Structure 1
Amino acid sequence: MGGSTARPVAAGGVAWGSPEARWMLTATVLGSGMAFLDSTVVTVALPAIEGDLRTGLSGLQWIVNGYMVTLSALILLSGSLSDRFGRVRLFVWGVAVFAVASALCTFAPTLEWLVAGRIVQGVGGALLTPGSLAILQAGFREQDRARAIGAWSGLTGVASAIGPFVGGWLVQIGDWRLIFLINLPLAAVVLAIAWFKVPESRDPEAARRLDYPGALLGVVALGGTTYALIQWGAAGATPAVWTGAAVGVLALALFLVVESRVADPMLPLGMFASRGFSATNAATVLVYGALGPLFFLLVIYLQEVAGYPPIAAGAASLPITVLMLALSARSGKLAARIGPRPQLVAGPLLVAAGLWLLSRIGTDAAYLTEVLPGVLLVALGLSTTVAPLTATVLASVPERHAGLASGVNNTFARGAQLIGVAAVPALAGIAAGGEAGGAADAGSLASGFGTAMLILAGLCAAAALCALLLPRGRTPAASGAAAGGPPAEEAAAVPPGAGERPLRFCGVAGPPLRSCPGSAAGRPQDGPPPGRSG
């Protein structure tokens, strides 16, 4: 699997509507859509997996977080790899790894095998996610890039929206293993198209020294911390828990040391000298730290306590996806007129209000009167928040660092979801269950769910306080300002304005950019690449 057999990108790129353009869009949409779909269908299937493998809540947390650990820690590095070694090559490797891992998940005889498969899926997702948008950015003509990226955003958004229905339907008609099995034919089609039909591209000025030590330490830091938090909830403060916590903290400290010294760091610490960048990333951590546990616990509660069938539980949060797709672009335009601060205060407070309503749902919760009002408030809050949050992150750093800023923000969001899923159930007193107790014995889940939602509401209220640190007034427009997408997506991008010169991604999820740091000095470069989850 050394690389694509298709010719290199033609000078100027391909035209919209040409056969080459259709092949390129098909491969990138199907590849990214496979990862986006998987991220939503797995959550719906968790109670069924628990019943089959007889695991407790801690096992379900690992099924979700095993994927997030490797994805969060490797996505920035993979963007640099795609720029250096070829975007199609890394995309193909990512799809292949994701397919092999899906097969491992499909036939996993035990929880340990399933978690191992999910960890490998995260590696594949980290490789293919940056490559999909990078391929479009490099392959299309300048005047057609916006249209191509818009089509990619819309079609992959559909994959996220239908995920709960697909997952619930597959679980109800057959077996949870089908949610992984469907990835195999999709991956085969993507590999064939990408290998033979999609032109290769790379950045000849990409950094020669890649931050492998930073990536490794990131995985260890997230893995150790996650292990300690999950096992703390399952077994208490055992020596193994303290060891995991110590390893995670030590790896984090070493990560910060490495990032402050290497020539081309994965996470340039100097960016945090900007108050706006630091405040918006703090708000991101708090908001997304609430979203991860919300989606994880809500779908389990509705099935295990309220008695919803899988397809109904999966569809319960669909209004969030629909309203974000419909309103995020308008929210971004409003923030451009009035400044982001009002929305970044009001949006998290709306989410907090929705979580407070969800904390009050009963054990026989009727969807229309008890669940839907809270879900709608969460949806309105996220629609208010995500677009100005992204735009403010980009506008808080020099334009040449905007792509990197977007990737850092994306990584923080994923890491926060990871930590939230690991920590919040234990903080809320939800018992881990076990082979005899089920996914979190129904009694402790019923009593602890409300507490968990109140903890998440508190996180969102704290995010609103972080937004108060932002300066008043309008924020300067960031290059290619992004409108946020639904939380389950791996990346979000909005086309740049007309008349911009050739664009480039910096190997990370985010909006199209005009220039990015190619070295420690951050020299501008023309060319393209990467893109978000899940």
Structure 2
Amino acid sequence: MKHHEKGLRVNQLSPGEMQPAVTSRAQNYVVWSAILGSSMVFADGAIVTVAIPQMRESLQASLAEMQWVTNAYALTLSAFLLLGGAAGDAYGLRRIFMIGIACFGLTSLWCGLSQSAGMLIVARACQGVSGALLVPGSLALISAHFPPDARGKAIGTWAAASAIAAALGPILGGWLIDIGPWQAIFWINVPVAVLALWLCWRHVPESPTLEDATMDWLGAVLAVLGLGLLAYGLTALGERDAQRSTALLPAMTGAVILVLFVLHERHSATPMMPLDLFRVPAFANVNALTLLLYFALSGALFFLPTVLIEAHGYSAARAGSVFLPFTLVMAVLSRLGGVMTDRFGTRMLLTVGPLITSLSFALLAPAVVHGGYWLAVVPVMALMGLGMGITVAPLSTTVMNAAPDDRIGVASGINNAISRVAGLIAVAGLGVVATLGFQYAASWASPEMADLFTQATFGTAPPMSVSPSNGVREIYATAMIGGFGLVALICAAAAAVSAYFGYRCASDSPPLSFEG
């Protein structure tokens, strides 16, 4: 296939020589370094939520500022993932991964030392950039040091450990908050970062780098600016008091910039997102699957705790605990999914897994109507974990196997960026859907009191001045369940469509060659 050759030859190695020969002991160190590094990033995505009340009181911050403590991290993490993947390919996966770990540890220390909400928001944004450097590298390092026939099992181990870290994050954070200051949830990252950095420095071999590497800086600026504005606009659009025109402007500007980014990448000699990758059917289809499935997953799980708390009176801790069966089943099966990928290929798993996940989303609607913890919600969440556990390892394996060896970092970055952006779109876009369902369900339950809920949004409790004798509380609970039910059905449909793209992911699709 004809392609610009500048910067694409790898230290005079042919594609068949790209896979470095490493011992099984070194491979174990690669996996553990990847797990320690990426686990910090995944855990920090959720750990902050349990500390928000204490942080707000300590920093004298507003609720909006606390929302952006979370959003700043998510925005920069999603916007810089492509740059992180491309930098790993250009300058060495191990080198960029270690830089990401070091920066994540330092920015975590900075977060803990913040004396104001503004400083904490800036530190969290920088922490997201650091995470974007190490997340693509964690997966790409595994792919670079494992042959294709053993890659699925290794990725499954990484996925399982990362899922456990994400589940334990809020639990660990709650324990740290109970025994000490809120700063401890960030400082705990420092020793983990030091250990991961030492393991990587002493035991992880360097992978080949591109000769005369040239970074696509214009592409990087366009990608970061476009994704950042799009994510910012969509996040603001999903906020309760958002001015729609103010929120739409950055989102539309970001979308236009992303179009310019694609046009630039088409003509760049050294693109950070090689569009030729999408000519590989497996790569194109698995990223379509990722977009739809993670849209569904992020949307359903974002609104679930709210409806359980508001409609059924769950405590925050009890609502959070419903994620444990999902995460634990997913973690256990992710490793098994990796073994099954090596043995049976990806097509069957990437079809069956999303279909099971789709079924679980559809069952969430009646489960939330019932409201029972053990009889309704927990079994459905375990079923969701089954579907995702079957899917995650073969999905990651397909991404890695579909890309040529000198582009596995950027391939991982693309896939991670798509999953993050899908989540941001889901939370913002489905917020409007949840509100429409909320208002319709309220009108259906009590036409005479429909005006009370006409201007209300999903999760907005009725005014305290309204007499409870009017049955407003019951109508509100019905409205919340109706709003979530509509979201759950849309998520089920998106996951079902993703199974179609999973079926189209042939496990034996050869990676695209970049040799001229």
TM-score higher than 0.5 here?
yes
Q: List aligned pairs for 1:242-391, cutoff 5 A.
A: 242-272=248-278, 277-299=283-305, 311-328=317-334, 329-330=336-337, 332=341, 336=345, 339=348, 342-343=351-352, 346-360=355-369, 365-387=371-393, 389-390=395-396
Provide closer, same or farther for how the CA distance between residues 305 and 206 of structure 1 changes in structure 2, counting only shifts above 3 A: farther
Higher alpha-carbon deviation: 44-53 or 134-143: 134-143
Q: CA deviation at 1:466?
A: 5.1
2:78 corresponds to which of 63, 69, 72: 72
Provide closer, same or farther for how the CA distance between residues 476 and 25 of structure 1 changes in structure 2, counting only shifts above 3 A: closer
Distance in 2 separating the partners of 1:114 and 1:420 = 26
Alignment partner, residue 39 of structure 1: 45
Q: CA deviation at 1:377?
A: 3.2
Distance in 1 separating the partners of 2:459 and 2:113 = 24
Q: CA deviation at 1:84?
A: 3.4
Q: CA deviation at 1:323?
A: 1.6
Provide closer, same or farther for how the CA distance between residues 239 and 397 of structure 1 changes in structure 2, counting only shifts above 3 A: same
SS in structure 2 opposite 1:296? helix
Distance in 1 separating the partners of 2:53 and 2:149 = 47
Per-residue Cα deviation, 1:18-77 (whole angstroms, up to 9, x for no partner) = xx7776665444323322322332344456656766544x65653443223322232233
Q: List aligned pairs for 1:403-414, cutoff 5 A.
A: 405=411, 407-414=413-420
Distance in 1 separating the partners of 2:380 and 2:254 = 35
Provide closer, same or farther for how the CA distance between residues 252 and 204 of structure 1 changes in structure 2, counting only shifts above 3 A: closer
Matched, 1:81 2:87: yes
Alignment partner, residue 511 of structure 1: none
Letter in 2 for 1:475: A
Distance in 1 separating the partners of 2:415 and 2:327 = 20
Distance in 2 separating the partners of 1:294 and 1:175 = 32
Q: List aligned pairs for 1:106-145, cutoff 5 A.
A: 106-134=112-140
Q: CA deviation at 1:94?
A: 1.0
Alignment partner, residue 224 of structure 1: 229
Provide closer, same or farther for how the CA distance between residues 230 and 239 of structure 1 changes in structure 2, counting only shifts above 3 A: same
Q: CA deviation at 1:163?
A: 2.3
Matched, 1:523 2:515: yes
Provide closer, same or farther for how the CA distance between residues 243 and 133 of structure 1 changes in structure 2, counting only shifts above 3 A: closer
SS in structure 1 opposite 2:210? coil
Alignment partner, residue 213 of structure 1: 218
Q: CA deviation at 1:277?
A: 4.9
Distance in 1 separating the partners of 2:396 and 2:143 = 20
Distance in 1 separating the partners of 2:28 and 2:500 = 45
Alignment partner, residue 178 of structure 1: 184
Whether the aligned pair in 1 keeps the contact of 2:42 and 2:162 (CA below 8 Å) is yes
SS in structure 2 opposite 1:428? helix
Whether the aligned pair in 2 keeps the contact of 1:339 and 1:475 (CA below 8 Å) is no
Alignment partner, residue 110 of structure 2: 104
Letter in 2 for 1:180: F
Q: List aligned pairs for 1:473-512, cutoff 5 A.
A: 475-477=506-508
Q: CA deviation at 1:128?
A: 1.9
Distance in 1 separating the partners of 2:350 and 2:31 = 36
Distance in 2 separating the partners of 1:476 and 1:96 = 36
Distance in 1 separating the partners of 2:198 and 2:281 = 47
Whether the aligned pair in 1 keeps the contact of 2:286 and 2:399 (CA below 8 Å) is yes
Letter in 1 for 2:515: R
Provide closer, same or farther for how the CA distance between residues 352 and 211 of structure 1 changes in structure 2, counting only shifts above 3 A: same
Per-residue Cα deviation, 1:259-302 (whole angstroms, up to 9, x for no partner) = 22112323333444566654543332122112223333334555
- TM-score under structure 2 length normalisation: 0.73
Q: CA deviation at 1:403?
A: 7.0
Provide closer, same or farther for how the CA distance between residues 410 and 92 of structure 1 changes in structure 2, counting only shifts above 3 A: closer
Flag the structure with larger Rg.
2
Q: CA deviation at 1:317?
A: 0.6
More helix per residue: 1 or 2? 2
Higher alpha-carbon deviation: 153-162 or 400-409: 400-409
Alignment partner, residue 531 of structure 1: none
- Percent identity over paired residues: 34
Q: CA deviation at 1:316?
A: 1.9
SS in structure 2 opposite 1:188? helix
Provide closer, same or farther for how the CA distance between residues 397 and 82 of structure 1 changes in structure 2, counting only shifts above 3 A: closer
Unaligned 5+ segments in structure 1 are 1-10, 432-436, 480-515, 525-534
Distance in 1 separating the partners of 2:350 and 2:29 = 42
Whether the aligned pair in 2 keeps the contact of 1:47 and 1:303 (CA below 8 Å) is no
2:431 corresponds to which of 399, 419, 425: 425
Distance in 2 separating the partners of 1:376 and 1:173 = 31
Matched, 1:451 2:483: yes
Distance in 2 separating the partners of 1:301 and 1:50 = 24
Per-residue Cα deviation, 1:186-235 (whole angstroms, up to 9, x for no partner) = 2234345545x245624243572222222222222222223223333333
Letter in 1 for 2:359: L
Whether the aligned pair in 2 keeps the contact of 1:223 and 1:248 (CA below 8 Å) is yes
Per-residue Cα deviation, 1:371-392 (whole angstroms, up to 9, x for no partner) = 3133123223323544555566
Alignment partner, residue 465 of structure 1: 497
Q: CA deviation at 1:417?
A: 0.9
Letter in 2 for 1:241: A
